[in-house]
Amino acid sequence: MIVMKFGGTSVEDAAAMANVCGIVKSRIKRQPVVVLSAASGVTNALIRCAELAAEGKRIEAEAVLREKIIDRHYRMIAELIRGLSEQDQLIRQFKIFDEELRSLLYGISITGDLSPRVLDFVMSYGERMLTVILTEALREHKLRAELMDSRKCIVTGSAFGKAEPIFPATQEACEAQLRPRLDKGIVPVMQGFIGANEQGVTTTLGRGGSDYSAAIIGTVMNAEDIEIWTDVDGMLTADPNIVPTALRIREMSFREASELAFFGAKVLHPSTVLPAIEKDIPVHILNSRRPQISGTLIKAQIAQAAIAVKSISYKRGISILNISSTRMLGSYGFMKKIFDIFNEHQTAVDLVTTSEVSISLSIEHSPDLDRLVGKLREYGEITVQRNKAIICIVGERLRAERGIAARVFSRLRDVPVDMISHGASEINLTFVIDEDRVPEAVLELHDEFFSNISEPGVFE
Ligand code: ADP
Ligand code: ASP
Ligand code: MG
């Protein structure tokens, strides 16, 4: 079997959805499980509705719900589904979705309470609504599609908003729900992004989490392939929004893809390749608008590229914390205390540099930052630098090739650099700069490493 995940941009309107049906049909012999995210912009619109309701602006919230969410799906049904009775049935189903969401917004507006648990439930409608429509569309394409509820398949912990799967329970549930259907030639259609905890309460895997859903399902079902269908030709040498001439990378290792996703390449959720690594399942990134292109293949062993740098990514919204204390000098246990505080505040640290009496750490900006800083003050003097960004250069051969760092920093001689980490992972070179210098830095570096390469086997 294979897993085929379609992202929001692949399913933004009726034409895109019809295209997806054709792509699924082309893979039918490989027993696909289809994983779908919400139509592009719908998750953001759902969050907006919930926030408006929590501010007591119920009328505005309902207007967003109607204009940005419900009407859009009605249009999709009208344009995509030909059978009149099937259309009617879908419209009836959407009336229920609409009523449920309005009741939820009403509840949120009365209590003013928008907990992560409630928000997860609200967000789950994006994926749940679209899978209903796609299932019907696949049936009209003569496929035996069946709508599944991912909350009965993906079992997670209870960290609402960023839940982690519980693999043994997920494996058992997926085997029970999916295998018998696949054996009968049925195409299961599942929601990405959502799951449920052991009590059956709806959870989500974090923004962009449908990629992760696909990888989890692929891994527990021992898939031959995990296909991530999106709106670009594959993993590119840089974000195409900054570098329109970015090249497609034909093959990359799990390690490279994982570093790039972690450091901001939005095309993959950062956790996507982790479960696939364990069972060595290849992950393909493919373009649903140009399915004939072979995309990017991510696997354990890849052909050696002649050029050391594979791709450049960046992550905005970073803060740097500097902690200086003479108590650090010659003492042990200091670092542990510091990291325990980050742990308590569930704040992940990306980069760390130390001197004898100070430590600098980069973290993603969080609403909890002030409280975190307050705690850290007990251990020394703290300064915070906000509006920073991490730039990350990735390639399996980065360490083997000399002079990469020299090329990077001489090319960026006009861009002030705050922190540098090289060698912690042998395949990346990472540093921090001001957020507003990101486009300039990425363009310069792309030009430095990719302006005149010709390795058709690796880049295209
Ligand atoms: P989907 O809705 O399919 O999940 P996303 O918007 O989450 O799509 O991810 C695809 C987008 O990621 C692309 O449209 C592109 O703008 C962005 N992106 C950022 N960095 C890269 C990169 N290195 N390679 C490819 N795409 C990238
Ligand atoms: N719809 C979800 C989001 O917007 C999940 C995803 O797109 O992968 O975050
Ligand atoms: Mg995505």
6 in ligand 2 pocket by Cβ < 6 Å? Answer: no
Give 21's Cβ-side CA count (13 Å radius).
22
On average, the pLDDT of the chain sits at 93
Does pLDDT of 181 surpass 80?
Answer: yes
Handedness of CA 335, 336, 342, 346 (dihedral sign): positive
191 vs 243: CA distance, rounded Å: 32
98 vs 102: CA distance, rounded Å: 6
Q: Tens digit of pLDDT for each residue in 434-450?
A: 999 999 999 999 999 99
Residue 457 confidence (pLDDT): 62
209 in ligand 2 pocket by Cβ < 6 Å? Answer: yes
Could you give the percent of the chain with pLDDT greater than 90?
Answer: 80
208 in ligand 2 pocket by Cβ < 6 Å? Answer: yes
Q: Tens digit of pLDDT for each residue in 238-279?
A: 999 999 999 999 999 999 999 999 999 999 999 999 999 989
Residue 200's region, left for phi above 0, alpha for psi from -120 to 50, else beta, is left
With 0-12 CB in 10 A as exposed, 13-18 as middle and 19+ as buried, what is 164? middle
The mean pLDDT of 67-72, rounded to a whole number, is: 96
What Cα–Cα distance (Å) separates residue 212 from each residue in 37, 165, 216, 251, 263?
11, 10, 6, 20, 16
455 vs 459: CA distance, rounded Å: 6
Which residue minimizes the CA distance to atom 10 of ligand 1? 267
Q: Which amino acid is at 111?
A: T
194 phi/psi in degrees, rounded to 5: -115, 155
Name the closest ligand to CA 213.
2
Does pLDDT of 172 surpass 90?
Answer: yes
118 vs 289: CA distance, rounded Å: 35
235 vs 174: CA distance, rounded Å: 29
End-to-end CA distance of the chain: 29
207 in ligand 2 pocket by Cβ < 6 Å? Answer: yes
Q: Tens digit of pLDDT for each residue in 314-363?
A: 999 999 999 988 776 667 778 888 899 998 888 889 999 888 788 999 99
Which residue minimizes the CA distance to atom 4 of ligand 2? 43
Which residue minimizes the CA distance to atom 26 of ligand 1? 267
Report which of 185, 105, 135 is spatially closest to residue 17, judged by C-alpha positions. Answer: 135
Q: Tens digit of pLDDT for each residue in 358-407?
A: 899 999 987 788 899 999 998 889 999 999 999 999 998 887 888 899 99
Does pLDDT of 455 surpass 70?
Answer: no
Residue 73 confidence (pLDDT): 96
Distance 214 CA to ligand 3 centre (A): 11
Counting atoms of ligand 2 from 1, which one is nearest the CA of 208? 8
34 vs 190: CA distance, rounded Å: 6
Q: What is the pTM of this model?
A: 0.94
Structure tokens at 334: 């200091």
Which residues lie closer than 8 Å to 181 by C-beta, 6 or more apart?
Answer: 146, 188
68 vs 50: CA distance, rounded Å: 13
State the SS3 of the chain.
CEEEEECHHHHCCHHHHHHHHHHHHHCHHHCEEEEECCCCCHHHHHHHHHHHHHCCCHHHHHHHHHHHHHHHHHHHHHHHCCCHHHHHHHHHHHHHHHHHHHHHHHHHHHHCCCCHHHHHHHHHHHHHHHHHHHHHHHHHCCCCEEECCHHHCCEECCCCCCCCECHHHHHHHHHHHHHHHHHCCCEEEEECCEEEECCCCEEECCCCCHHHHHHHHHHHCCCCEEEEEECCCCCECCCCCCCCCCCEECEEEHHHHHHHHHCCCCCCCCCCHHHHHHHCCCEEEEECCCCCCCCEEEECCCCCCCCCCCEEEEEEEEEEEEEECHHHCCCCCHHHHHHHHHHHCCCCEEEEEECCCEEEEEEECCCCHHHHHHHHHHHCEEEEEEEEEEEEEECCCCCCCCCHHHHHHHHCCCCCCCEEEECCCCCEEEEEEEHHHHHHHHHHHHHHHHCCCCCCCCEC
Report which of 388, 402, 391 is spatially closest to residue 429, judged by C-alpha positions. Answer: 391
Distance 359 CA to ligand 3 centre (A): 34
Model confidence at 295, pLDDT cuts 50, 70, 90, reads very high
Does pLDDT of 454 surpass 90?
Answer: no
Residue 44 confidence (pLDDT): 98
232 in ligand 1 pocket by Cβ < 6 Å? Answer: yes
Structural domains present in the chain: 15-221 (3.40.1160.10), 311-450 (3.30.2130.10)
Distance 206 CA to ligand 3 centre (A): 11
Does pLDDT of 168 surpass 90?
Answer: yes
Name the closest ligand to CA 43.
2
The mean pLDDT of 58-87, rounded to a whole number, is: 96
The mean pLDDT of 57-78, rounded to a whole number, is: 96
Model confidence at 87, pLDDT cuts 50, 70, 90, reads very high
Q: Tens digit of pLDDT for each residue in 186-220?
A: 999 999 999 999 999 999 999 999 999 999 999 99
Name the closest ligand to CA 46.
2
